[in-house]
Structure 1
């Protein structure tokens, strides 16, 4: 399935970009002030990290619903350690809180299932090929 996301520079802004994704309200991306941005929106790293947290939460919720477990909600907190990123090490710690689940075995199973979410596997098991090209209109 092909899906396109279009990222367009915002006029009169330093690094802020509008992100168009068919069927959704526009999103925005910027960079922190430390890198010359305005910090007016999440930066690309934030979107990368939040994709993992959201995928783990959604995958866990889907599993709990199928099992008819009493999961009321999930809080996923993703903490980034990018201090070694330039050396090729990018660490994400995901803390999951399963609201309404008191059974330790169910919580452990939900944590295990969260590690099988598509984004976790994409980040840790897949080879991602990126091709970049310039177009002239």
Structure 2
């Protein structure tokens, strides 16, 4: 599946970007004040990290629903350690709480299933190719 995401600089802001994705127009990206931004929206790292947490939750919920387990909801916390990012190491710890599930085997299975979410697999086992090109305005 091919998808296009459009990103446009917001006038009168230093680094703030407006994102349009499949009709969602109220998505914004900014950078922290420490990097010269205004901190008016999540930064690109935040979106990267939250994608993992949300994907793990959705994948686990789909599995529990298919199994007809009594899952009422999921709370996820993603802890980032980017202290060694410049050296090539970026660590994310995901802590999941499965509400309504008390069976240790079901909890373990949901955790295991969360490792199979598309974003986890993309981050840990896929080769991602990025090509960037500038276009000359007509």
TM-score (norm 2): 0.98
Give the corresponding residue for 2:73: 73
Note the C-alpha offset of 1:86.
0.1
Note the C-alpha offset of 1:136.
1.8
Give the corresponding residue for 2:85: 85
Q: Distance in 2 between matches of 1:61 and 1:130?
A: 31
Give the corresponding residue for 2:112: 112
Secondary structure in 2 aligned to 1:94? strand
Give the corresponding residue for 2:48: 48
Note the C-alpha offset of 1:6.
0.8
Q: Distance in 2 between matches of 1:23 and 1:11?
A: 20
Aligned residues: 137
User: How do residues 1-137 of structure 1 correspond to structure 2 at under 5 angstroms?
Assistant: 1-137=1-137
Structure 2: 5+ residue stretches without partners: none
Q: Distance in 2 between matches of 1:29 and 1:126?
A: 25
- Write out per-residue CA displacement over residues 30-82 of structure 1, whole angstroms, 9 at most, x where no aligned residue: 00000000000000000000000000000000000000000000011101000
Note the C-alpha offset of 1:22.
1.7
